[in-house]
Structures are given as structure tokens and as C-alpha cells.
Amino acid sequence: MSRYTSNQYQAKQADAQGVIHYNDIEHEIWSELYQAQISLVHRHMVNEYIEGLAILDLPNHRIPQCSEISEKLHNITGWQVEPVPALIGYDRFFDLLANRRFPAASFIRTREDFAYVKEPDIFHEIFGHTPLLTHPQVAAFSQAIGELGRNLTADNHAWLARLYWFTIEFGLIKQHNNDTSDVVPMGSGLASSPTELIYAATSEATERRPFDVMDVLTTPYRIDIKQPIYYVLESFEQLSAIAERNLLADILQARKMGLQEPHQALAMAS
Ligand SMILES: [Fe+2]
């Protein structure tokens, strides 16, 4: 999501032809991130993410333009990637999703933020998000979140954002192999973080809960620490089932229930 307060990073502006220019150091950072991440995602991410990555065939030595990705993505699921300033509000964010346009912050992180950047950067947006936007159920779910979100009043936005956070951004999913299944990372925030991907896939210090809409809607999260709780989807079909629910009623119910107590790890990190 592209909605966090940015102090350090400035949006990169496109030129008259719509091209965003990056310097050599910025391309180098992309290249280093790509090299750090490519074997890790092959080892840990869900198969459908890897399939999407292969379809998009992202460049490894330079930052791609959003228009290059859009050209391929549009032919597959109708999605496009739209460069936006580092800061956009929920209204614009949900409206873009509703129109199958993925808002992409255009700057790239510095080396100091190599492992994880709170403010989503172009590596997170492209490498993290776009491979699964080739998947029909992720594509439809993301659009459904946008359609609901743009019709919500502002006081409900953060409630819906938790559903997006615990699926698209930091979700885990069961990968079924014949008679067995493994729990594997699916979320974009994991695919684009060298440290949190391994943590989410292998750490025994984190909690992995079965996905439950009401539980998710009432679970607080922080953007600046590794997640102490992940939710595990049964399958990509479950995303379709979630999108078909009356999510507005779920949000209203969640508001009556109130947020759960923050996990101990959230409190300790304060
Ligand atoms: Fe994101």
C-alpha cells in the first residue's frame, strides 16, 4: 500500500514522455535486491508467485518502468501499474484498485533500508506485488477490496486495510502437494524483504493462525517490525470466498467487537 508518511523519501517524477529516470546507484540497489531475493523467493514463496515472476520476466540489472510491466499484466488480468507519489490517501488507493490499477511508489530504498523499508518502494511494488497480480483470484480480490474501500466512509478505511495487510501484503497460504500441504509465504511484503521472508517461512517465534475474517479485522499490526502473527489462507479460492462475503457487515461487526489487545511483540517494540 502506498499511504505511509514519508520523511526520508521523495517521489520520483516522470518526464513528459512518462519515463521515470533513475541514476546508476538506484539501478544498482535494484540489482542487489534482485540478486539477494531471487533464490530466496524460489525457495520459500508460493508456486503461483514464482509462476507470475516467470511470466513477467522482470529485469535483474535495472529498475523497470511501470509501463513495461503494465503491458504484460494488462494482457493477462487487465491490471496496470500506475506510478504515484510516495504519499497517497486511502480514497485514491482504493479507487485505483477498483479500476485494476496498482499504485506504485516510484522511489527506491537506500542501502541503509536494504532489508526492509516501512514506506513501500518500487522494489516492493514491482517485485513484491506484480507477480501475483497475474493470478486471477488475487487480481479479482484486489479489485474487490478497492470497490468496497472507495464506498466506505473514512472511519472504516483502516478496518478494511487490515484485511489487505494480512492477505496481499503479509499473507501465508497452504500449498497443496498431493496428500500433504505446506504453509508458505504469499504476501508482497515478504517477497520483497530479504529478512522477513525467511522469518515468515521458518521462524518458530511467530504465530501462524488459520485465516478468519473477524479475527483478521480485529488484529492490530505495525508496519515497522517483523509480524508476530501471520494468517494462513487455505487456498487462493478462499480469497474469492472472502470477497463474496458482506464485508461491510463484517467491518461493522468488528468495530462493535473492538480491536484485540496488541500482541506482546507489538507492545515490546513500542
Ligand atoms: Fe504493498
Q: Where are the domains of the chain?
A: 24-268
The reported pLDDT for the residue numbered 7 is: 57
Distance of alpha carbon 267 from alpha carbon 83, whole angstroms: 35
Query: Full-prediction pTM beyond 0.85?
Result: yes
Distance of alpha carbon 113 from alpha carbon 243, whole angstroms: 34
Burial 135-169 (b: 16+ CB within 10 A, else e): bebbbbbbbbbbebbbebeeebbebbbbbbbbbbb
Question: Ligand 1 center to residue 38 CA distance, Å?
Answer: 18
Near ion ligand 1, which residues have CB within 5 Å? 120, 188
Question: Ligand 1 center to residue 179 CA distance, Å?
Answer: 33
Question: Ligand 1 center to residue 102 CA distance, Å?
Answer: 10
Q: How many residues does the chain have?
A: 270
Contact 184, 45 (CB under 8 A): yes
Across the chain, which has 270 residues, the per-10-residue mean pLDDT values are 57 86 97 97 98 98 97 98 87 97 95 85 97 98 98 96 97 92 96 94 96 97 91 98 97 96 69
Distance of alpha carbon 97 from alpha carbon 10, whole angstroms: 23
Q: What angle do CA 91, 223, 5 make, to 5 degrees?
A: 50
The reported pLDDT for the residue numbered 4 is: 44
Question: Ligand 1 center to residue 20 CA distance, Å?
Answer: 20
Q: Which CATH architecture has domain 24-268?
A: Orthogonal Bundle (1.10)
The reported pLDDT for the residue numbered 160 is: 97
